[in-house]
Chains A and B, each alone.
Chain A
Amino acid sequence: MTRFGFPSRLSFYFFILLIFIVGIVLILQRHWVYDVPLLYGETKTIWSIEAKVEFMAEDKPVKVSMARPPNQEGFTVLKEAAASPGYGLHFLDGDRPQAQWSIRNANGKQTLFYRAEVLVNEQEQAETIKAPKVPYVTLPQPFDKTADAILADVYSASSDNFSFTRELLSRFEFEKENQQISLLRNHYNESLPVLITKMLHKANIPASIIYGLELEDGRRRQSLVPMLRVWNGDDHQLFFYPSDSFSEYSTHADKPFLLWQKVASPIIEVTGGTQSDIHFSMIKREESTYANISQTLSSQYDFMNFSIHSLPIEEQAMFKTILLIPIGALIVCILRIFIGIRTSGTFMPVLIALAFIQTSLITGLVGFILVVTAGLFIRSYLSKLNLLLVARITAVIISVIAIISLFSVLAFKLGLTEGLKITFFPMIILSWTIERMSILWEEEGGKEVMIQGGGSLLTAVLVYWAMNDPWIRHLTFNFIGIQFIVLSCILLIGSYTGYRVLELFRFKALSK
């Protein structure tokens, strides 16, 4: 057994046991010491949101003001922090909560971070905000006249400021064919929110554009979305802007929406710098008790609290996905070693499953099958051209991109916005899959392609279910110990010498 330097079985199992115990200890330690709940669900939801401000300083004093999210209906801001070496920092409260950074001299590219921990809190009530004064507005001709005509029409079909707004928005949303609407839409296509707000002002209705953030777990480099706040006396209400073909203003019902400012004001003002830009990363976390929330894990840097929670949000969001990959790999190991399922490319199903997470399952499956089928047809033509391998795969990559673009455009024209999501597929991987399946087809026939393709998709779906499970997501992200347990399982599976389930069928003939 030790002929080729194999360690003895006993020490191998001891090693596995050790890893397993380390995993369990890490999990229990995090559970007991830091009160991270083992069970998903019995928790409060906290969103960590990080704003990254970037600009070019011009070798002179710099002052940066950034709007900060206020407490609002449904959300309580628990804790705020900012990072910015060398800068003086100041949090201003009041009607326009702001973070202000200042420095005597700076040059070159500057990056400032602001992080807020926001608790989802049903108790938090809406505040009354005084209606702003309505400014006098005119639009250039002929748009002013067109707007007046629409406003008069809307006025007769409404009873108060809110129903007026709803009526106006719905015309912009649904009556794109209407000549007056399309005239305005075409002229103001990039600044529809501004146009609509101005039109409300023309009708003497207090309204302002207010920016907020759509919260979706694990998103990076997000931008703010404009919303419309309209007053009717002391009451105020928020409205989504109608979406149009160039940018999406409306938000999704299943994603909570956090307002980033209380009253309309610039989100960011930079003096002494140019090309300022702001974007957001966010991550969702489940915490057990309120007490625990106050002593946030990220502020503790001792060794035993080795956790990805001490990383910036942008990296955490990335790790949230990366930490799921071992779970996918574990499932692939089980399916291949215990069952004997054949897939095309060992871990390709995991990558496909990652794409499914972005696209949702049905869209992903349909998209995958469409792209691969179309790719196989193109590849069968390429094989006649007699190209060198690398050039051929490059041609396949370009074809895959073309197919994906074509499908996206077609889907959009047909009104299927879901179809746009197939761009999440890893294109290089898809191209290799097509190449491999095509060779398989030529050499072993269509049956083998179906077996391996089907095996890959089946595996990808199972992996997707596992990686999308809220329990598994909760455990992998909050307990690094899970990774040790997965590792010990994989090592154990790797030493399994028994039969595979499919071999029980393969060797059926030997039962006689």
Chain B
Amino acid sequence: MIYPWILKQRGILGMNKRNIDYISRYNPRRLYPLVDDKLQSKLLAEEANIPVPELITTLKSQHDVAYLKNKLEGCSGFAIKPAKGSGGKGIMVLSRVDEQHFSKSSGQVVGLQDLQRHASNILAGLYSLGGAPDVAIIERLIEFNPLFKSFSHEGVPDIRVIIFKGFPVMAMMRLATRDSDGKANLHQGAIGVGLDIATGKPLHAVQHGKSILTHPDTGQALSELKVDHWQELLTLAASCYEMSGLGYLGADIVLDNTRGPMLLELNARPGLSIQVANGVGLLHRLKPIEKIDRSILNRDAAARVAFAQDAFASDSLIEDRI
């Protein structure tokens, strides 16, 4: 147990404070559909020239499911996901084996029928909030950097950046493990690696709330994690503020081998585990931004990133502590 005054002293943001003082104050309710619906946010991002994984097709009615095979013609690897899903639910990553068969990242082979059933479940609203009817999105697979191979079990590692009033305030990389079943959610056992805002270098890593130094499945030392295109990635994240209008935002970004950073999805209610991964409280970074004056607030994304990198640079990288 940790005493509440120590939490406060460390600047840890709690669930109640996040809901009242940040989400409900800075995120107008009417903007939620933009981020809760991945299809909408994708189209919005394309409009704002923010790179996103290429959309192959969408399935909007049960009728479309029958034509799934035609729609996937000539496509080698793809991800199928519900537009209104949350927490990574219902996402299936597949590579093509032949006309009728696909292979999951775990190597498990699924038939066209299984895929159609999955799509049909998505449309029925199995994975959407409150069971509302949904749309299935099929997008081209990210070609992720082979460097990450040893850092992640199955899933593609993604980078979560918290953006407050347009400033990137905290970032972490999420690495799937066998425990998390290839998923990137910390509460399911994925690893969270806090990243230094200034350099993108790893600060601290946790799994199940405990500090770790190596990936439990591959034995890879996490201190060797290196995120390319860091500047570009932060600028992309920061520009999600203008695009969505949300003041308190989580952006999930993936690094494509050829196209660089791409926006995967936005989250209007980002979780608090990022603090544990970074070993730092969010309040120490949110509070100064709330006090910032207008002249800095009104600068463009690149300038806001520069400000954040200067203000939130960390001096205790993971490699220094080993």
Contacts and interface: CB of A to CB of B under 8 A. Distances in A.
Contacts of A497: 14, 16-17, 20-21
A498 B17 CA distance: 6
Contact of B15 (A388, A500, A509): A500
A386 B117 contact: yes
B124 A389 contact: yes
A507 B276 contact: yes
B14 A510 contact: no
A17 to B, nearest CB: 19
Contact of B16 (A389, A443, A500, A504): A500
Interface residues of A, number: 29
Interface class of chain A by DSSP: loop
B113 to A, nearest CB: 10
A269 interface: no
Interface string B192-208: 00000000000000100
B188 interface: yes
A503 interface: yes
A496 B20 CA distance: 8
B25 A3 contact: yes
Interface residues of B, number: 35
Interface stretch (B5-13, B35-43, B223-231): B5-13
| B interface SS class | helix
B281 A498 contact: no
A499 B14 contact: yes
Most buried by B among A439, A498, A503: A503
A510 B211 CA distance: 10
B33 interface: no
Contacts, number: 78
Contact of A509 (B4, B20, B211, B281): B211
B299 interface: no
Contact of A499 (B4, B117, B211, B279): B4
A503 B282 CA distance: 15
15 contacts: A3-B25, A389-B124, A389-B125, A445-B188, A497-B16, A498-B14, A498-B17, A499-B4, A503-B7, A504-B1, A507-B275, A508-B2, A510-B12, A510-B281, A511-B6
Interface of B: 1-4, 6-8, 10, 12, 14-17, 20-21, 25, 28, 89, 117, 120-121, 124-126, 131, 187-188, 206, 209-211, 275-276, 279, 281
Interface of A: 1, 3-4, 6, 337, 340, 386, 388-389, 439, 443-445, 495-500, 503-512
Given A507-B12, A512-B279, 8 more contacts: A443-B89, A445-B188, A499-B8, A500-B16, A504-B7, A507-B7, A509-B209, A509-B210
